[in-house]
Amino acid sequence: MQQTRSVELGAGLFVLFGFAALFFLTTQTTGSDGFSGDDVFEVTARFENVGSLKNRAPVAMSGVTIGRVRSVAFDPENLDAVVVFEIDSQYGQIPDDSDASILTAGLLGSQYIGIQAGGSDFYLENGSEIEFTQSALVIENLISKYLFNSGSDSE
């Protein structure tokens, strides 16, 4: 009887430890970046070049994530890239002449959309389009520009 009880106690402790570990893994090792994605509105922007922008890349304003990229597509008529992204509706007061640029987190980090506020009295709403955009910096272009310039300088 004594032995059975200690076996049951050991098994119980083991299962408790196991579930505590599972709980730790699911809650502590993964993080949310403060964007829930429940209540959102969609905004479109056209870019000449999106670089390596991916779906679910963050949309940030003043460095704070306020939304995510929904889709990146090529428009064969206007020959540019159409990026649809969603912004948390608690940030519903972004001026509609704000400009969007594609930035890189760190030197080799992933790309995200940064929004810089404009001065308009009207706000971005569901379905509106950001007119002022700035393309991604493509590192190959920069390097080739630098190489060509330095070549012409030396001659």
Partner 1 sequence: MFRDIFYTIIGFLRTLGAFQLFSLRILANSPSIFVRRFSLVVKQVFNAGAMSLVIIMVSAFFVGGVLGLQGYSNLSKFNAEDSVGAFAAFSLLKELGPVITALLFAGRAGTALSSEIGLMKATDQLSAMEMMATDPLRRVLVPRFLGGVISMPLLVAIFNVIGLFGAHVVAVGLLGVDTGAFWQQMQATLTLPDVYEGILKSVVFGFVASLLAVWEGYNAVPTAEGVGKATTRTVVITAIAVLILDFMITAAML
Residues of this chain that bind partner 1 (CB under 8 A): 4, 7-8, 10-15, 17-19, 21-22, 24-26, 28-31, 33
| CB closer to partner 1, 24 vs 132 | 24
Complex with partner 1: residue 8 or 131, whichever CB lies closer: 8
**34 or 119, CB closer to partner 1?**
34
> What is the distance between the alpha carbons of residues 28 and 42, in angstroms, rounded to a whole number?
31
Provide the minimum distance between the beta carbon of 63 and partner 1 in the complex, in angstroms, as a whole number.
14
Nearest by Cα to 57 from 105, 123, 125, 128: 105
* Shortest Å distance, C-beta 79 to partner 1: 33
Contacts of 61 (CB under 8 A, 6+ apart): 91, 94, 114, 115, 116, 117
Q: Which is nearer to partner 1, 25 or 142 (CB)?
A: 25
Closest approach of Cβ 62 to partner 1, in Å? 19
Single-letter amino acid code for the residue at 83: V
Tell me whether residue 32 is exposed, middle or buried, using C-beta atoms within 10 angstroms of its C-beta: 0 to 12, 13 to 18, 19 or more: exposed
- Residue 104 Cβ, how far from partner 1 at the closest point, in Å? 15
- Token pair 């760190």 in the structure block, residue: 106
